Amino acid sequence: MKKTVLIPALLLLAASAAAAQTKNPVSSALRDILPGRQKNTMAAIEAMPADKFNYKPTPDQMTFGHLVAHMIESNNLLCSKAAAVPAPKVEEAKESDAKSKLVSALKTSFDYCSDTLAKMDDTKLGETTEGFGGKQVTRAWASMVLASSWADHYAEAAMYLRLNGVLPPTAKK
């Protein structure tokens, strides 16, 4: 039977590498999560037929186009709040905009997030900023809401797709 001997220097090296990888755990996590969320969300929005952007499951729910406009606004606002940079000056997306315009604006908002989060570190996470309804929140709060909104928005888009007979991107093999 072979015995494995762990060399203390290797353990120290591994611990140092792990510590270096977690220097900015929140901003690093956002950067790691973003590409997959962007890919799936963009694919979901592109999968919805243009004539279904005015679809809403019930009279009280938002249209699919409204959902996309909301995603654009959320990305721009929350990425700026999390990373402590000014929000981009962009034309407000409207639910009545053409699919091509909404898709382009959503891609631009994800690109903004990618550029912004690439420069972000965790040093400002304890700072406060204005959140929803004027409430004061930390940049850490904005970061957590950003990550959860990406998941929530994709889930909403996936439900709208299924209700229209379209298989969501993550359900495809």
Question: Mind listing the pLDDT tens digit for each residue in 66-93?
Answer: 999 999 999 999 999 999 999 999 999 9
Q: What are phi and psi of 136, to 5 degrees?
A: -85, 125
CA nearest to 13, candidates 21, 24, 5: 21
Per-residue pLDDT, averaged over 127-146, amounts to: 96
pLDDT (0 to 100) of residue 30: 97
AA identity, residue 69: A
Alpha carbons within 13 A on the beta-carbon side of 169 = 17
* Helix spans in 23-121 (H): 25-47, 64-83, 99-119
Q: Could you give the 3-state DSSP secondary structure of residue 91? A: coil
pLDDT (0 to 100) of residue 22: 74
Residue 118 to residue 137: CA distance in whole angstroms: 22
pLDDT (0 to 100) of residue 11: 47
- Indicate if the pLDDT at residue 1 is higher than 60: no
Quickly tell me which residue has 């998941």 as its tokens.
151
pLDDT (0 to 100) of residue 33: 97
Q: What ranges do the domains of the chain cover?
A: 24-171
Top-tier CATH class for 24-171: mainly alpha
